Amino acid sequence: MSMITEQQVGILSKNGRFQKVLTAGKYYYPQILGYQLEIIEANGLVQPQSVPLAILAKDPNFCRLTAMVEITDTTLAAHYKDGCLSEIIYTSGRYYYWNILQDHSFLLISLTTPDIAQEVPLSLFDHINKQFFIEINVAEGEGALVYFDNKLERLLTNGHYYFWNYLTKVTYKIITLNSPFISCVSQGLEAELLADHPAIAEKLAVIDVPDGNIMLHYVNERLLDALPSGWYGYWQTSGDHTFRLLDITDAESANTLGDESETIFRVVNEKWYDRYDVASGEVGLLYRDNVLIKTLPSGRYYFWRYREKITLEIYDLRLQPLDITGQEILTNDKVMVRLNFTCTYRIDDPVALASGLQNYASQLYTFVQLVLREYIGQYKLDELLAQKEQIASKVLALLQEQNKFALTFVSAGLKDIILPGDVREIMNTVLLAEKKAQANVITRREEVASTRSLLNTAKLMDENHTLYKLKELEYLERICDSVGSISVSGGGDLLGQLERLLVSKKTEE
Using the 3D structure, point to which of 297, 316, 335 is the last residue of a domain: 316
What is the distance between the alpha carbons of residues 19 and 220, in angstroms, rounded to a whole number? Answer: 86
For residues 114 and 124, is the Cβ–Cβ distance under 8 A? no
- What's the whole-number mean pLDDT along residues 481-505? 60
226 falls within a domain = no
- pLDDT score, position 301: 93
End-to-end CA distance of the chain: 173
- pLDDT score, position 188: 43
Query: Which residue, 110, 1, 89, 75, is CA-closest to 44?
Result: 89
Q: Indicate the pTM of the whole model.
A: 0.51
283 falls within a domain = yes
485 falls within a domain = no
Confidence band for 489, pLDDT divided at 50, 70 and 90: low
95 falls within a domain = yes
Indicate whether 336 and 362 sit together in one domain: yes
Among 25-39, 273-287, 302-316, 490-504, which stretch is predicted with the lowest mean pLDDT? 490-504
- pLDDT score, position 144: 85
190 falls within a domain = no
For residues 43 and 80, is the Cβ–Cβ distance under 8 A? no
Altogether, the residues listed in the chain come to a count of: 509
56 falls within a domain = yes
Contacts of 80 (CB under 8 A, 6+ apart): 86, 104, 105, 106, 107
Indicate whether 306 and 335 sit together in one domain: no
Q: What is the DSSP string of 298-336?
A: SEEEEEE-SSS-EEEEEEE-S-EEEEEEEEEEE-TTS-E
**CA angle 502-507-509, nearest 5°?**
95
Tally Cβ neighbours within 10 Å of residue 70: 12
Query: Letter for the amino acid at 406?
Result: A
Q: If you ran DSSP here, which 8-state letter would residue 34 be given?
A: T
Indicate whether 301 and 326 sit together in one domain: no
**52 in helix, strand or coil?**
coil
HSE, side-chain direction, 13 A CA sphere, residue 347: 20
Element (H, E) at 195: helix 188-196
Is the pLDDT reported for residue 328 higher than 50? yes
Indicate whether 6 and 106 sit together in one domain: yes
Indicate whether 301 and 381 sit together in one domain: no
Is the pLDDT reported for residue 498 higher than 80? no
395 falls within a domain = yes
H helices present in 58-176, as ranges: 60-65
Indicate whether 352 and 288 sit together in one domain: no
425 falls within a domain = no
Using the 3D structure, point to which of 76, 93, 110 is the last residue of a domain: 110
Query: Percent of the chain scored above 70 by pLDDT?
Result: 84
Indicate whether 280 and 335 sit together in one domain: no
What is the distance between the alpha carbons of residues 454 and 445, in angstroms, rounded to a whole number? Answer: 15
Using the 3D structure, point to which of 283, 316, 349 is the last residue of a domain: 316
Indicate whether 7 and 103 sit together in one domain: yes
Indicate whether 396 and 366 sit together in one domain: yes
Domain containing 311 equals 274-316
For residues 232 and 206, is the Cβ–Cβ distance under 8 A? yes
Indicate whether 17 and 74 sit together in one domain: yes
- pLDDT score, position 64: 92
Higher pLDDT, 286 or 493: 286
- Kindly report the CATH number assigned to the domain that includes residue 374: 3.30.479.30
**Count: domains in the chain:** 3
Indicate whether 278 and 357 sit together in one domain: no
The mean pLDDT value of the chain amounts to 84
- pLDDT score, position 486: 59
What is the distance between the alpha carbons of residues 400 and 390, in angstroms, rounded to a whole number? Answer: 16
Indicate whether 399 and 303 sit together in one domain: no
Contacts of 372 (CB under 8 A, 6+ apart): 324, 327, 329, 339, 341, 395
Confidence band for 430, pLDDT divided at 50, 70 and 90: low
pLDDT digits (tens, 9 = 90+) for 111-140: 999 999 989 999 999 999 999 999 999 998
Determine phi and psi for 483, rounding to 5 degrees.
-95, 130
pLDDT digits (tens, 9 = 90+) for 221-251: 889 889 888 877 777 665 778 889 999 999 9
